[in-house]
Each structure stands twice: as C-alpha cells, then as structure tokens.
Amino acid sequence: QVQLVESGGGLVQAGGSLRLSCAASGITFSIATMGWYRQAPGEQREWVASITSDDNTNYADSMKGRFTIARDNAKNTVYLQMNSLKPEDTAVYYCRGRQGLRIYWGQGTQVTVSS
C-alpha cells in the first residue's frame, strides 16, 4: 500500500519560512519523480515544483528563487523549503509521487501565511 504523508505546514507571517516534508512508503522512492502541488480555497490545484530520480528540479515561475525542492532517498522523503512566504502562498500543499504511469497523492498539509 502506497502512502505519502506530508508534514510541516502551519501558520507563518509574511516573509517567513516553512519546510514541508513528505515521507513515502510502498513505492520504490529512488526511481520516482516527486512533486509538490497546492490548492487555495476556490482555486484549482496547481503545480509548485518537482524533482526527478536524478535530482533534476523544476519550479513554477512564481516559486522560483523562493522555494527549493529536495529529496533524501535514504529517508524516502521529499522536502519543500519555502522562503519569503506571501499571503498568496496560503493553500493546502500536496505531495505527489509518480512511478511509471502510476500517480500517488498525499492527504495535504495546510500552509497559512498571514499579512
């Protein structure tokens, strides 16, 4: 059974930082492409960042320079370091894993940025 469990969300003031973690089990983590998505109230889920099995990273334009995605294959964990947070970053953040054609989602973690 595949599980992706996010943690690290919370309430932070604008300009602050948070680090999200996503612990994976039930997949061969080292060969999976991992990503972070977010969904604000009333909005569609949007892609934030992704990292391939060979550590190639990509970011949505609005996150470049502020967010960093990283992975630790020994811990089966992917991270999202978020700096210079803005109120518009408020959303539920979801971890996504892709192994071949199979896609898996975590349950999400709430990030709230106050102004």
CA–CA dist 50, 56 (Å, integer): 8
Is residue 63 helix, strand or coil? helix
Residue 99: the pLDDT is 93
CA distances, 102 to each of 33, 54, 63, 97, 105 (Å):
11, 19, 26, 8, 10
CA–CA dist 70, 1 (Å, integer): 24
> What are 63-101's pLDDT values in tens digits?
999 999 999 999 999 999 999 999 999 999 999 999 999
Residue 26: the pLDDT is 94
Best CA proximity match to 112, nearest among 92, 94, 96: 92
- Residue 20 — pLDDT band, cuts 50, 70, 90? very high
